[in-house]
Structure 1
């Protein structure tokens, strides 16, 4: 029984998101809580490409009608991706993060949360090892100025209003922290999911469908609460997460590093007009990366820590804070689609 979970862990580690081994074996404890041995064995026969049940059945060596009910059940539990189409359903392996974990928002237990929080540092260290990240940071709308060299895919409102279907789902990070008594009190309903992803969430009863206007209201409320906008790292994102630096497993772990700006894929950084700065500390208090410090009555930005979210600009009443473009050599051009993003990460990890 132990072997199938070790095999599945290696299988998931060969996905772009990774699933690195640990000395404690916490990653195996997580898998045992999510997968039965039979489900784990079946997941070993899936790849990160949608396939009909007949193709999977050939690899498994069992009739399609035998494994189909289990695949459907695994899809309903968010352990694999089940795509329903008029011309036939398909099934696909999910990576652990972003993927399996986010679909567990309604299946969390105290033990699963405990084990996941123990495992996150290992997971983040593996993800930080490559240049292309799964998420990127775009500035909040209120922080954008006419001098910025900003592209359409860096405009939050453009990203939202260009979507044909929008769903808002609970943030699993804030939910899990709330469940263990460490919640921050910021809004939980804050993960925007688009297009095909929205239909999949809807089919599983996670979240609710909303209009573009409702989505923008959530984005503005998030900015007011100091949440960082993180779309999936592609020109055409599948989702936008509104993240806090206390509960978000990605931001909170990046914050612990000495140079968050080197990890986060972003094209902007904050700048201070010292003639306008009054040293009020509003920017210092809202900065999610501790990138701003007020010294001798003036705000100063640590460029190694600033991720260009623009939250400091939204709270400055004296027009002293603004966003500036990174140097050309530091600019980030996201892949066109999420598939391209994962292919790029896989190449950087040497999986090809």
Structure 2
């Protein structure tokens, strides 16, 4: 039987992160053929997600060290592998499709790939996002929406996350860039996603973003929130990235919006509360909400559907009558987060029944 290396690659990628499931049309194979040669696919299949020196990989591949280094560096440069340099040694690892190969195409995204990814999102990846998006990204509140007595853990505070990082890189949102290419853009800021530390160093090494200071990052974060973007770091106490997402373009939010109860599909420790007696019916909150949790009732006042609220606080900070507030969930309802990215990947795999 002839080896179907691209199907093998799809099945391997489906083991990582939120997966890479087959689509009815087979568009996922078209995407892989667009990105990987057969030689690339064969090499990827011989790697694991554990960072490994090129010299060790050369032994596994049966190649001379120089040849292995050249091939590995080339694939990492095309966003098909993750790499990390420590001193004179570069380590390589297989990487998930999301977050990973897809996002690493930010400088190579063109109309053909954008159309393929849009199709794949509608046919297959969106369903996986819907089922597992809450384990991949989590919603954290806008600090302005919190009352002084509403204490927030450092990993639920965007500013504290930024302050804790040694390296911060800002890059373009791959979702909004894709929709821009397809002429479906929402018009909101594109350069709004952060990568941290080791992940940031990968982005710098491959010219996928630019390094910024904490102050610059805070300024970008503020502009993103002014435009109504939801801040979503990776679901770990020590996240390696933090996105600022819109319901129009973001794959995770788009998928979650198909859920009848988005509040159950995300990891969030807060929820909004509406005081209808204080509402003036200005409709500002309706425009701000990215999950359609707020609407106008027949009496001209807002109504809040708690099943759709993901606790971002964007509505709270722009309510002119202060009719909206943000509350913390009870201690027993608080999410327990994995410590870091590797623990997050294991947790995702366990949730999907892979481990």
| TM-score, shorter chain, exceeding 0.5 | yes
**In the TM superposition, what whole-angstrom CA distance separates every residue of 1:93-136 from its partner, at most 9, and x where no partner exists?**
01000111001001112111111111114123224435861111
- How many residue pairs match? The answer is 352
User: Are residues 1:159 and 2:179 paired?
Assistant: no
2:136 counterpart residue number:
134
C-alpha deviation, 1:346, in angstroms: 1.5
C-alpha deviation, 1:275, in angstroms: 2.6
2:314 counterpart residue number:
311
Q: 2:220 aligns with which of 218, 221, 228?
A: 218
With the length of structure 1 as denominator, give the TM-score of the two structures.
0.96
CA distance in 1, matches of 2:100, 2:250: 15
Does the CA contact (< 8 Å) of 1:131 and 1:348 recur in 2? no
Does the CA contact (< 8 Å) of 1:18 and 1:127 recur in 2? no
1:92 counterpart residue number:
93
* More moved, 49-58 vs 123-132: 123-132
User: Are residues 1:283 and 2:285 paired?
Assistant: yes
2:81 counterpart residue number:
80
CA distance in 1, matches of 2:150, 2:300: 27
1:300 counterpart residue number:
303
2:49 counterpart residue number:
48
C-alpha deviation, 1:56, in angstroms: 2.3
User: Are residues 1:232 and 2:234 paired?
Assistant: yes
Q: How does 1:109-258 map to 2 (within 5 A)?
A: 109-121=110-122, 122-130=124-132, 133-258=135-260
2:103 counterpart residue number:
102
Change in 2 beyond 3 A, CA 1:49/1:135: same
C-alpha deviation, 1:149, in angstroms: 4.0
CA distance in 1, matches of 2:130, 2:330: 22
C-alpha deviation, 1:272, in angstroms: 0.8
Q: 1:320 aligns with which of 309, 312, 323?
A: 323
User: Are residues 1:260 and 2:262 paired?
Assistant: yes
Q: Over aligned residue pairs, what C-alpha RMSD do you find?
A: 1.6
1:272 counterpart residue number:
274
C-alpha deviation, 1:347, in angstroms: 1.7
Structure 2 residues without counterparts, runs of 5 or longer: none
With the length of structure 2 as denominator, give the TM-score of the two structures.
0.95
Q: 1:343 aligns with which of 335, 342, 346?
A: 346
Does the CA contact (< 8 Å) of 1:132 and 1:341 recur in 2? no
Does the CA contact (< 8 Å) of 2:129 and 2:251 recur in 1? no
Q: Which secondary structure does the structure 2 equivalent of 1:192 belong to? A: strand
Structure 1 residues without counterparts, runs of 5 or longer: none
